[in-house]
Amino acid sequence: MFSDTLPKLLLEKYQEYGDKKVAMRRKDYGIWIEYTWKDYYEYTKYFSLGLIKMGLAVGDKVAILGENDPEWYWSALAAQCAKATCVGVFADSTPPEVEYIVRNSDTVFVVAEDQEQVDKILEIKDAVSRLKGVIYWDPKGMYSYQKDPFVIDFYHVVALGREYEKECRGFFEKNIEEGSPDDIGVICYTSGTTGSKPKGAMGSQKYLVAAGESWCAVDDWSSKDDYLSYLSPAWATEWELGLSSGLRSGATVCFPEKPETVQTDIREIGPKVVFYSARMWESLNSTIHARIANTIAPFRSIFHICLRIAFKVIDAQFQKKPVGILWRGLYKMSDLVLFRYLRDRIGLSNIKWAYTAGAGISPDILRFFHAIGVNLKQIYGLTEALMNSVHRDGDIKPESCGIALPGNEFKISGTGELLVKPPACFSGYYKDPENTKKQFDDEGWIKTGDAAYITSDKHVVILGRMKELVDLEDGNRFSPEFLETRLRFSPYIKDIMAFGEKGRGFVIGIVVIDYDNVGKWAEDNGINYTTFVDLSQKAQVSDLVLKEVARVNSVLPDWSRIKRYVVLHKEFDADEAELTRTRKLRRAFMVQKYHDLIDAMYTDAEEVAVEVPVTYRDGRKGLSKSVIKIREVSGV
């Protein structure tokens, strides 16, 4: 029988493997450092005891602020072992965002990665009176804080716990044993695309354990697998994969050195399981295409020939049609000649399951990765309801999110909204019963807020957020997201916001170019530019974008084609609240922020002067002024 809380699972794995098996691996000083299950257990144990010694009480909250590291995992489980609750905070949150979460969750200790994160806490500490201290795990740059009793070294707490254990032998084990599936293990703050302030979704131990259970039931993770921990643990998904599924299966969790070094680190690990956000797959796709475009002509031809063969085979497989032996042979050859090297280049040569969720991925991208031999599967899930559906091996529909996981039920409401009934769901929003109630319908189904339909073979296809579906003139419904994900397939387009509304006649687009790829393209084509602003307003760049827009337009019905567009002079930025921390568009905010621009695009103007307030990383504000050219797509 499997244990019913994560701490019990940890204890179980520790008893099973001890120091005979590696549980975690992290890159530090250029070397992979290994931690066995004994290390995993002991760090968690002593940190937990240390926290208790420092005054952590049952039911308290411990917030963790930092990038993925073993200490993140240890602290999170340590809090749970002490019958406290863990609150994850995104590492790139600004001080006001951190303050909101720390205050709202009644956090008493913050575990922060390094000096940068500690500074955020010190900045807000006077405003949050409950806070007892901040604990850091990366000592770099902390020399000047050593005299501040509020700031404590992670390993000092571990040592404290080790001392404390001598006084209270068996206390920790008793704590684990007393843990119940109803204990709130985690509070995940939803990114807040919908409302203004994020809401803290509480997850019980039952919720956390169920996540790993249904996961391992679909894809049979084993203790021999390597998982790359790259998603922020502030997001429920990392809890479900790295923590819950990791603890259940005994797989080794690998932590890259820095977010910037993932592409080199992943090659060294060769993981079997990887989860990137849709944006990351998109950027990987862009990089591959841009690199191919830069190579010599014969190589380019080989790539295109191989890809054509692969698409032929993959498309047949997707439609479950038989593939002729000739094509199968050719595909095998393409793999030998090209694709296996390509997979190796991107660190996916051992990949068994690659996943994505979050913002919808373009079907083109899913198809592309399958073509080059990466088993990329789309997941549908909510923080409130865990993972609900996933593609099964051999049953991939590029436009869908797979079929329901065991124990999950789907239903489409009268308004076209997707409703779900999972085996375990969240325990409500922290201190917010009103919104909790709103999340459920009368029969206890969880409202997802997504418009969707279910195909005859039970695949779930998401159309977009309910709120964002736009009714156009003649009763047609247009989904901006649908357009956007398809346009982002282009290596030259990093972001796009499509817009249309009743009474406006047609759809427009605000495009953000991919600076690296377009910059490289400009250099290769002898176009001089100085800055992002300059590059974005070049006529040739606009032509480049036009081609991409026309390509996507050609597969869309008349009424949802982009008629006019601009190439924006800046990137969309999470620091300016244009995107959420998981890089989803905050549409309502954007429509308001760029209303002048949008209005101008519905006139005959050929260019428009924009003044956009910008917020710098350190909180300073400024105005960015530019003249932006408006382009019309002919034939729409």
Partner 1 sequence: MGVKRQTDKGSEALLRLEDISLSFGGVTALKDLSLEIGGQGIFAVIGPNGAGKTSIFNVINGFYRSWKGRILFDGVDITQLKSAKIARLGVARTFQNIELYTGLTTVENLMAARHMLFKDTILEGAFYFGRTLKQEVIHRKVVEEIIDFLEMEDIRKVEVGLIPYGLRKRVELGRALAMEPKLLLLDEPMAGMNMEEKEDMARFVVDISEEKKIPVLLVEHEMDVVMDIADRVIALDFGRKIAEGPPEKIKTNEEVIKAYLGDEL
Interface residues toward partner 1, by CB under 8 A: 28-31, 140-141, 143-144, 257-258, 260-261, 264
**Residue carrying the six token digits 């459920």:** 440
**How many whole angstroms separate alpha carbon 326 and alpha carbon 315?**
15
**How many whole angstroms separate alpha carbon 408 and alpha carbon 310?**
34
Nearer to partner 1, 70 or 212 (CB): 70
CB of 144 to partner 1, least distance (A): 7
Nearer to partner 1, 143 or 475 (CB): 143
CB of 616 to partner 1, least distance (A): 10
Nearer to partner 1, 185 or 256 (CB): 256
CB of 114 to partner 1, least distance (A): 11
Strands 107-112 and 133-136: parallel
Nearer to partner 1, 264 or 301 (CB): 264
Nearer to partner 1, 319 or 531 (CB): 531
Q: DSSP of 456-520, one letter per residue?
A: TT--EEEEEEGGG-EE-TTS-EE-HHHHHHHHTTSTTEEEEEEE--TTS-SEEEEEEE-HHHHHH
Task: Give helix 70-81 / helix 37-53 axis angle, nearest 10°.
Answer: 60
CB of 268 to partner 1, least distance (A): 11
Nearer to partner 1, 258 or 595 (CB): 258
- The encoded tokens of residue 450 equal 């997504």
Nearer to partner 1, 145 or 239 (CB): 145
Nearer to partner 1, 138 or 335 (CB): 138
Closest CA to 80 of 181, 217, 2: 181
Handedness of CA 73, 74, 80, 81 (dihedral sign): positive
**How many whole angstroms separate alpha carbon 543 and alpha carbon 226?**
44
- The encoded tokens of residue 574 equal 């999470």
Handedness of CA 86, 90, 91, 94 (dihedral sign): negative
CB of 624 to partner 1, least distance (A): 15
Nearer to partner 1, 140 or 458 (CB): 140
- The encoded tokens of residue 60 equal 């308290």
Q: Taking the CB of residue 539, how many other CB atoms lie within 10 A of it? A: 10
Strands 607-615 and 621-632: antiparallel
CB of 532 to partner 1, least distance (A): 13
Nearer to partner 1, 180 or 261 (CB): 261
DSSP-assigned beta bridge partners for residue 380: 389
Nearer to partner 1, 1 or 29 (CB): 29
Are 14 and 38 in contact by the 8 Å Cβ rule? The answer is yes
Nearer to partner 1, 263 or 476 (CB): 263
**Distance (Å) of CA 43 to CA 75, 79, 80, 359, 513:** 9, 12, 13, 35, 45
Indicate the DSSP class of residue 338: I
Report which secondary-structure segment, H or E, holds 405. none
CB of 24 to partner 1, least distance (A): 19
CB of 617 to partner 1, least distance (A): 9
Nearer to partner 1, 321 or 617 (CB): 617
CB of 137 to partner 1, least distance (A): 14
**How many whole angstroms separate alpha carbon 210 and alpha carbon 214?**
6
**How many whole angstroms separate alpha carbon 111 and alpha carbon 234?**
13
3-class secondary structure, 579: strand
Four-point Cα dihedral 455, 461, 467, 471, nearest 10: -60
**How many whole angstroms separate alpha carbon 408 and alpha carbon 463?**
20
Nearer to partner 1, 142 or 546 (CB): 142
CB of 66 to partner 1, least distance (A): 15
Nearer to partner 1, 4 or 119 (CB): 119
CB of 143 to partner 1, least distance (A): 5
3-class secondary structure, 24: strand
CB of 514 to partner 1, least distance (A): 18
**How many whole angstroms separate alpha carbon 506 and alpha carbon 478?**
11
CB of 381 to partner 1, least distance (A): 31
CB of 260 to partner 1, least distance (A): 4
Q: Is 240 exposed, middle or buried (0-12, 13-18, 19+ CB in 10 A)?
A: buried
Closest CA to 69 of 334, 289, 309, 253: 253
CB of 537 to partner 1, least distance (A): 21
